[in-house]
Amino acid sequence: MTPSLILASSSPFRKMLLANAGIRFEAESASTDERAVEETLKDTGAGPDDVALVLAEAKAQDVAARHPGALVIGSDQTLSLGDQLFHKPADMDAARRQLLKLSGRTHQLNSAVVLVRGDTTLWRHVAVARLTMRALDPGFVGRYLAVAGDRVLSSVGAYQLEGEGVQLFDRIEGDYFSILGLPLLPLLAELRRLGAIDG
């Protein structure tokens, strides 16, 4: 039997946010090649928010194709500093370089969420948060990474705001759920509107 609501993600944070909200769902990873999808957007003028939306939709469509009739939640997040788009760091050295590049500057987290049923996208949303990192001493970055460990490699910003990563910031403007990777309040409102959850 096809589940009625599927989260197209393996992210423990997205799963936690939905579960904590009391939503009944199943989770299934998409097999989307994110870099290949991004490559198709090169030279199209797509901004970081557009990239997040396209990736979220591609993931949802991938899972929806395997579950006809299910309502599938797709989500993705991009980090941008000016025109530069950042990805999850490949290793701890890349994480260190990334944090030093963001040090003392304001970057954007663009969190996209879409709802797909069958081959139809029913809804799209992008939430943007602006985060200002304090000027970081390279020695502190090394100590932070030693404490935080490999967990930072699962975060596009090489930090996890719900943990020690909060110490890296001077100012945060935006919705906490969106910063964690899922614009939860708009998603819940749309799920209620569609009658997918009690409201």
Known catalytic residues?
A: 76
The two beta strands, 5-7 and 84-86, are unpaired
Q: For 137-143, which contacts have Cβ atoms below 8 Å and span 24 or more sequence positions?
A: 138/100, 141/96, 141/99, 141/100, 141/103, 142/96
Sign of torsion, CA 60 64 69 70? negative
Distance of alpha carbon 3 from alpha carbon 160, whole angstroms:
31
